[in-house]
Structure 1
Amino acid sequence: MKRIALRSPLAAVLALCIVCAGCSREPTNSWQGYVEGEFLYLASSQAGQLTELSVSRGQTVANDTPLFALEARNETEAVAQANQQLQAARAQLADLTTGKRPPEVDVTRAQLVQAEADAARAATQYRRDEQQLRVGGIAQSQLDESRANALSSAARVRELQSQVVVAHLPGRSEQIRAQRAQVDAALAQLGQAQWKLDQKSVRAPHGGLVFDTMYRSGEWVPAGSPVIRLLPPENVKVRFFVPEAVVGSLAPGRRVTIRCDGCAADVPAVLSFISNEAEYTPPVIFSNESRSKLVFMVEAKPQTADAPKLRPGQPVTVTLQ
């Protein structure tokens, strides 16, 4: 009886330890993890002074909301210059394809009428001199001069007739082709200038949370340096690690429940990624099991409407359904 009395307190203590250990152990279908955010770092490809910061940290913005703008005087003037060059190139092309203006054609036609009158008068004088030469009224030299004058007047008429025809013709095909190339080059230059100008003002490519702003208005922003750090709700996910014995039963699309401190209710999510590479338990994940055990990283994404309930870096508990 004494030996039994001595053993009873020890057995009670051992039983209590086993019960406490079982109570402290987490369920086999629940694992600890943390919230991860894939941020969008929004920057301009051009450098400049920050003249307008339209949002503030912690603000939720919609798609295509203006975020910030840089000083753009040089780019604005470059667009105006390129536009004027394009207009000039198009005007030259139109001039080549339409021929001379009507007033210029009228001048040539008037000259043609005068030349035809001179040619008719010269031809009449030539016929008269031929008759006079037969009767001996003039010398041969005078007839030769009349013949030359008649031929010259007739040639002038043919010249002006050709000028009238040419005045209605467009420029040569090679000239037109070259000028069209000039128009295309001016159009491309205008597009480049407009693109640089558009880069000076940045809008939100997605709706989301303005997680942070890196510059203040008036500061110089180098090219490619992020000004806004944006977190779209669809880029919020939960990352946790499961043991090797469990990963084989998981598949993308499986539903899970996310529980966090301070959350009013559990957040439903769906598994989106399961790593194929094993790794040792990360030290950030606190577990009562051996840390030398291999685990696999798993990611789950909540619904877009539930994403704002979670904060990047926040510890959570993920439970399989």
Structure 2
Amino acid sequence: MRRIRSKGGLGALLLALALAACADKGPPRYQGYAESELIFVGPDESGRVTRLDVDEGDRVQKGQMLFQIDPVLQQSEVDSAVANLDEAKAQLADLKASAQRPEEIAVLEASQRRAQAALELSRIELGRQQDLYAKKVGSKAALDSAQASFDQNQAALDEISKQMDVGRLASRDERVTAAEKAVLVAQANLDAATTRLERRKLTAPSDGSVETVYFRPGELVPVGRPVLSLLPPELIKMRFFVPEPDLNRFKLGTKVQVSCDGCGEGVAATVSYIAEEAEYTPPVIYSLDERAKLVFMLEARPEDPLKLRPGQPITVEIAQ
């Protein structure tokens, strides 16, 4: 240990001890720093940046356009999905147009009875003309006319019967149901393709400031990599360190006052987290006096986070 031989050195030491004692009588102060959680904004799929609307340091609002990734492939998928949906709707419309409803079946049944009556009348007329022609009383033309009328009525009855058989097919309803499901699938594929296309244009998820831009127009963004990072004000917090003997001064919800360079009159904050385990030194050492102390880390949420910047040293004391 170095000896102090001069009276001046001894006086300086006594003065320093007196000032330290006076400082100890004031409210306890604790050292820390501002911290933040960033939001990383990037595309769901890889692609090349074609447009960048912001730069580092810009303040943005929720929903504001940030950047765009090349949408050519996604646009092609949307066009293909639109065509598939149109085709599915056309097939469904065709099936519904050809399917016979119960009312239409009733109309066909009435037509069938009318055709049967006409056929029976033409059969009687044909028989009469045949008898007359056999007795050489009727003409060949009348017989041919009666035969043609009978054949025509027979064909009309056969046609109506076939239409009724087709309208009553059970598979018709199943095909319509399948076509309706195909339309739903095509619509879902279109919705998915449209969503993928829309996600090529990225907007701000919240208010904040642009901290770092990692990729610029023309650069290829790999899968899972962000194009930029945002700092929302609500994600700014303060971490400070309290010696173990002073820990009982704090609890969740305790109001504190924070001072820092450029903070003006300071920033009011509320304790939001108290660490369960102690540590021997804080991550950043601000003075030699902080070494080898058993401290606990606390976090507080500021009422005005815009006064703080991440990494900025702070001093915390309990609000009076």
TM bucket, shorter chain: 0.7 to 0.9
Matches within 5 A, 1:1-321: 15-22=14-21, 29-99=28-98, 121=122, 123-130=124-131, 155-163=154-162, 172-287=172-287, 289=289, 291-303=291-303, 306-321=304-319
Within 2, Cα distance between the matches of 1:58 and 1:9? 52
Task: Using the TM superposition, name which of 120-129 and 291-300 deviates more.
Answer: 120-129
Within 1, Cα distance between the matches of 2:192 and 2:152? 57
1:98: Cα distance to partner? 2.9
TM-score (norm 2): 0.79
Within 2, Cα distance between the matches of 1:182 and 1:222? 35
Give 1:83's aligned amino acid. Answer: V
Check whether the contact 2:115–2:157 (CA below 8 A) recurs between aligned residues. no
- Identify if the C-alpha distance between structure 1 residues 154 and 255 changes in structure 2 by more than 3 Å, giving closer, same or farther: same
1:190: Cα distance to partner? 0.6
Task: Using the TM superposition, name which of 284-293 and 232-241 deviates more.
Answer: 284-293
Within 2, Cα distance between the matches of 1:290 and 1:215? 41
Check whether the contact 1:49–1:218 (CA below 8 A) recurs between aligned residues. yes
1:123: Cα distance to partner? 4.3
Check whether the contact 1:119–1:153 (CA below 8 A) recurs between aligned residues. no
Give 2:317's aligned amino acid. Answer: T
1:320: Cα distance to partner? 1.1
Within 2, Cα distance between the matches of 1:154 and 1:196? 61
- Identify if the C-alpha distance between structure 1 residues 9 and 177 changes in structure 2 by more than 3 Å, giving closer, same or farther: closer
Give 1:298's aligned amino acid. Answer: L
Within 1, Cα distance between the matches of 2:305 and 2:315? 15
Q: Which residue of 2 aligns with 1:3?
A: none
Give 2:305's aligned amino acid. Answer: A
1:91: Cα distance to partner? 2.1
Task: Note the alpha carbon deviations across 1:150-182, whole angstroms, 9 max, x for none.
Answer: 986654232222355578889811001110111
- Identify if the C-alpha distance between structure 1 residues 221 and 10 changes in structure 2 by more than 3 Å, giving closer, same or farther: closer
Moved over 6 A (4+): 8-11, 112-119, 148-152, 166-171
- Identify if the C-alpha distance between structure 1 residues 290 and 214 changes in structure 2 by more than 3 Å, giving closer, same or farther: closer
What value does the CA root-mean-square deviation take over the aligned residues?
3.9
Within 2, Cα distance between the matches of 1:166 and 1:79? 41
Within 1, Cα distance between the matches of 2:29 and 2:229? 32
Within 2, Cα distance between the matches of 1:52 and 1:252? 45
Give 1:95's aligned amino acid. Answer: D
Within 1, Cα distance between the matches of 2:244 and 2:150? 110
TM-score (norm 1): 0.79
**Gaps spanning 5+ residues in structure 1: where?**
1-7, 138-147
- Identify if the C-alpha distance between structure 1 residues 91 and 31 changes in structure 2 by more than 3 Å, giving closer, same or farther: same
SS at 1:279 equivalent: coil
Check whether the contact 1:46–1:199 (CA below 8 A) recurs between aligned residues. no
Task: Note the alpha carbon deviations across 1:240-269, whole angstroms, 9 max, x for none.
Answer: 111122223312222111111233321111
**Gaps spanning 5+ residues in structure 2: where?**
1-6, 138-146
Check whether the contact 1:62–1:204 (CA below 8 A) recurs between aligned residues. yes
1:25: Cα distance to partner? 5.9
Within 2, Cα distance between the matches of 1:123 and 1:246? 119
SS at 2:315 equivalent: strand
User: What is the percent sequence identity of the aligned residues?
Assistant: 35
Question: Paired residues, what number?
Answer: 298
- Identify if the C-alpha distance between structure 1 residues 199 and 273 changes in structure 2 by more than 3 Å, giving closer, same or farther: same
Within 1, Cα distance between the matches of 2:9 and 2:148? 147
- Identify if the C-alpha distance between structure 1 residues 291 and 273 changes in structure 2 by more than 3 Å, giving closer, same or farther: same
Task: Using the TM superposition, name which of 116-125 and 211-220 deviates more.
Answer: 116-125
Check whether the contact 2:48–2:219 (CA below 8 A) recurs between aligned residues. yes
